[in-house]
Structure 1
Amino acid sequence: MSTTNLDKAILDCIGQHQQSGNEGVAASLIQQQIGRPRPTVNRALARLVESGELIRLGAGRSITYSITYSFSYQNTAKAPSASQVEQPQASYFNTSRSSPGFQWSNKAHKVVAALAAPLGTRKPITYQRSFVEDYEPNQSTLLPRALATNLFNAGRAKDQLPAGTYARKVLEQLLIDLSWSSSRLEGNRKSLLDTRALFEKGRAEFGDRDSVMLLNHKEAIEFLVDAVPTEGITVPVVRNLQSILMRDLLDDPSDLGAIRKKIVNIQDTVYLPSQAPHLLEEMLTLVVSKACEVRNPVEAAFFLWVNIAYLQPFVDGNKRASRLAANMPFLLSNCAPLSFLDVGQQEYALAMLAVYEKLDVSLAAELFEWTYRRSIDRYQVVVESMGDPNPLRVKYRNQLGEAIRHIVFYGLKLNQAVAEVSISKADHAVFVDMLQEELDTLQPYNCARFRLPMNKTAEWIKQKRPR
C-alpha cells in the first residue's frame, strides 16, 4: 500500500468513526481495521499529525486521533455555485461543523443566544458607515489593546528582516493551510490530501469548481506575498485579490475586481449591505487608509478582516478577500501569517453575523485570538525545523532568484545566467551548486518565491528542466 493510500485509509477509518459520534479513534482500532502493522500505522499517524490533517487527543495510553474537520471527507454536499447571493457559511448552530477545541466564553454565549432568535424577531439593519468613520487609528481599538500587543509580541519575527521574509520562509505550508482553510469555510469539499495533490498537479479538471477555488486561493496568496512588500496595503491590491480569488467562478467576468453595482443579499440574516456603488468605493478606500495608519499589525489585520466582510464591496468573494487581506499587515511586519487553522463554519458564521447585525466584534475577537495563536505555533515550528539559514544562501538570495528567472523564464543557459549576476570567484562553485539544487527542486507549487508564473514553470519542467 502506497503512502497516499495508507493515509487515505487511515483518514477514512477515523472519519467513519467520527460520523458515528466518536470524538477520537485509538491507534489500535485503526490498525485492526486497516490491517497494517502497528509501527507502519504509528508512523503514518505521526506524519498526518505533523501535516495538520489529524489532531492528537489525550495522553499516554488514552491517546486518540481526530480529523481536523471530519466532514472534509464526506462527498455528498452540493458543489458551491457562483451567484449574486452571498451564501451562508453552514447552519449557524450545526455542531458537526464546529471548531475542534474552540469554546465561546460565557460572555459570548449571550451574544450567540441573541443571534439564535428567529429571523422574524430580529430588527433589519443596513450598513452603518459610522463603524469605520468613528474609528480613530491608534486611539480606537476593535481588539483589546493588551491582547493585540500580546499577539504581536508572540507572532513577530525576532530579527529585523525585509518585509515578507517570514511569509516566504513558510510559504509552501502557508499555501496549503490558508487555501484549504479559507476554501473549506466556503463549503469546499476537498481534503488536505486532495489539496496537496492538486497543487502538485497545478490544474483543475473541467467543471471541478472546488479545485478552481483552491487554485485561486493559492495564486492569490502568492500574489500577496509578492505584491504587498513592494506595493503596501492599497485598494488596488485588495481589488486584485478579489479578482484572483473569483477567477472563473463568476458568471460575469466584469465583476472581477470591480466595486459592486449589483444587489447582494446575505442569506439567514436581517443584515442588508449597502447597494450604493459610490458608498462602497468610498468606504473601502477609508477602510484601507485607516488600516495603513494602525501601528499594531494585529489590530490592523483584525480591522481589515472585519470591515471588508461587513462592507461587502464585491459581488462575491468578500469573505475570502477579507481573510487574505487580513494577512497584509502581517506581511509588512514579518509576523506569523494568519491561516484560519481549525476554524469551523459554525463559529465563523456567528462571528460575522454578530458584526453584521449588532456591530459587535466580541465573537470575532475570540475566534481571531484562538486561531491566530494556533497559526503562530504552527509557523514557528515550521521556521524552527529549517534550522539556521545557510549564510551563503542569505548572501546570494537575490542573485539566486535572478539567475533562476533567467533560466526558466528567459531560457538562458546556466553559465549565461550565472554570468549575468555578480558572484565572487571564491563563491562561484558553491553558488552554482546552490543554483542546481534549486532548479532540481523547482515546482509550480513553490515557484512564487522566485516570482515565476506557475504555467511558465510547468512548461520549463515539461521540457525536462533545460539549463
Structure 2
Amino acid sequence: MEQITKRQLKILECIRERKTANNQEIQKCLKDLFGDISRTTVVRDINRLLEENLIEKKGEGRSVRYEELVKNELLSYFDADKYFENGPDERSVAFERFNFDIFKNLKDIFTLEEISELKELNNAYNARIKKMPASAIKKEFERITIELSWKSSHIEGNTYSLIDTEILIKNREEAQGHKREEAVMILNHKKALEYILGERKDFRKLNLRKIEDIHRIIVEGLGVQHGIRKGLVGVVGTRYKPLDNEHQINEAVEKTVKIINGLDDCFSKALVGLAMISYIQPFEDGNKRTSRLLTNSILLADDAC
C-alpha cells in the first residue's frame, strides 16, 4: 500500500472515531485542520481509501455512509510517523497491559495476494539456490551470519561496526575500546545461527524448549537467567507493561506456539513468532534477539529466503 496523505489519514480517523460517517460529516471533520475543501476533493480522497481497502461504502445515493474496513484489528492502518512525533510518555498506547484477545487475531495476517507473492519470490530464490555450488552457498551464509549478528546486536545498543563484527566472527579478534560483553553478544548470535542451521528441519514444529534453547545460546555468558522469568520486566521507550506472572507467561508462550504450529505458511509463522515473543517478553533479557533468531529458524526450516 502506498503512503496515504495527511488529509486522507484525517478522513480515516474521522470515520474510525464516529464508527460511520457521510460526506458532509467528513467535510466538517476536515475543516478545522485543512479549511474549506471542495466536495470533489473529498470524494477523490474517499475513493483512494476505498481503493486501498481501508474503508467500505454502505448504502446508496444520499444515504451513503463509510465505515472502516477492518477484517483483523491488528491490520488497522497505523501512522508510525505520527506515533513517534511524541516522546515515550506522551504516546498513545492501545493496551498498557498484555492483551490476551490478541490471540484471536493471529490468523490471516497476510492477504492471499501477499502470500502468493511471497511464495512466488521464494520459488525464484530456491531455483537460484539449486544452481549455486556448495562453496558459494556456504560463503553466502557466512555473509548473512555476519550481517544479522551485527544488525541484531546494533539494535540492542552494541557499538561494534560491521567491519569489527566481520573480523570478530572470522578471526575471533575483539575490537579495541569495546566491552567484552559486546563481543560475547555478537558471537552468541553466530552460535545461535549455527545451532539453527544444524537443527533446521527440527524447527518445522515448535515447542517451548526450542525457543528456550535459542534464548539460552543468545544470552550465554551475559549474566542473564535462563528460562521463563518469574518477575516483572520493563520495556524502554513505552508505557506497556508485560505480564509479571510466570504461569500467565507460560500460558501466553504455549498459546503462541500452538497458533504458529497451526498456521499454513512459514511467512505467517515467522511474523507471529517475531511479534509475539517481543510482545510477551517471556525472558529476563534477550527477548527481541530471541524473537529475531526464532523468525529465521522458522524460515530456514521451510527453505524460505
TM over 0.5: yes
Match of 2:287 in 1: 318
The aligned amino acid for 1:197 is I
Match of 1:127 in 2: 98
Provide, for residues 83-123 of structure 1, a one-character-per-residue CA deviation record: whole Å limited to 9, x for no partner. Answer: xxxxxxxxxxxxxxxxxxxxxxxx65x34313533524635
The aligned amino acid for 1:215 is L
- C-alpha RMSD of matched pairs (Å): 2.7
Provide, for residues 7-34 of structure 1, a one-character-per-residue CA deviation record: whole Å limited to 9, x for no partner. Answer: xxxxxxxxxxxxxxxxxxxxxxxxxxxx
Flag the 1:159–1:171 CA change in 2: closer, same or farther, 3 A.
Answer: closer
In the superposition, the TM-score normalised over structure 1's length comes to: 0.43
Match of 2:112 in 1: 145
Identical pairs, percent: 24
Q: Which runs of 5+ in 1 are unaligned?
A: 1-106, 337-467
Match of 1:195 in 2: 165
Is residue 278–residue 288 contact of structure 2 (8 Å, CA) maintained in 1?
yes
Asked if residue 219 in structure 1 is aligned to residue 191 in structure 2, the reply is yes
Is residue 274–residue 291 contact of structure 2 (8 Å, CA) maintained in 1?
yes
Q: Which runs of 5+ in 2 are unaligned?
A: 1-76
Secondary structure, in 3 states, of the residue corresponding to 2:232?
Answer: coil
Match of 1:228 in 2: 200
The 5-angstrom pairing of residues 65-464 of structure 1 reads: 108=78, 110-118=79-87, 119-120=89-90, 122=92, 125-132=96-103, 134-135=104-105, 140-156=107-123, 157-158=126-127, 170-202=140-172, 204=174, 207-230=179-202, 232=204, 233-250=206-223, 252=224, 255-256=225-226, 258-336=227-305
The aligned amino acid for 2:147 is D
Flag the 1:193–1:203 CA change in 2: closer, same or farther, 3 A.
Answer: closer
The aligned amino acid for 1:324 is L
Is residue 203–residue 301 contact of structure 2 (8 Å, CA) maintained in 1?
no
Provide, for residues 428-456 of structure 1, a one-character-per-residue CA deviation record: whole Å limited to 9, x for no partner. Answer: xxxxxxxxxxxxxxxxxxxxxxxxxxxxx
Flag the 1:229–1:167 CA change in 2: closer, same or farther, 3 A.
Answer: farther
Is residue 280–residue 311 contact of structure 1 (8 Å, CA) maintained in 2?
yes
In the superposition, the TM-score normalised over structure 2's length comes to: 0.64
Give the deviation of 1:333 after TM superposition.
1.4
Q: Number of paired residues? A: 218
Secondary structure, in 3 states, of the residue corresponding to 1:259?
Answer: coil
Report the Cα distance in structure 1 between the residues aligned to 2:90 and 2:99, rounded to whole angstroms: 21
Flag the 1:207–1:120 CA change in 2: closer, same or farther, 3 A.
Answer: closer
Secondary structure, in 3 states, of the residue corresponding to 1:262?
Answer: coil
Give the deviation of 1:203 after TM superposition.
6.1
With a CA cutoff of 8 Å and minimum separation of 6, indicate the structure with the bigger relative contact order. 1
Is residue 246–residue 317 contact of structure 1 (8 Å, CA) maintained in 2?
yes
Give the deviation of 1:331 after TM superposition.
1.2
Is residue 235–residue 288 contact of structure 1 (8 Å, CA) maintained in 2?
yes
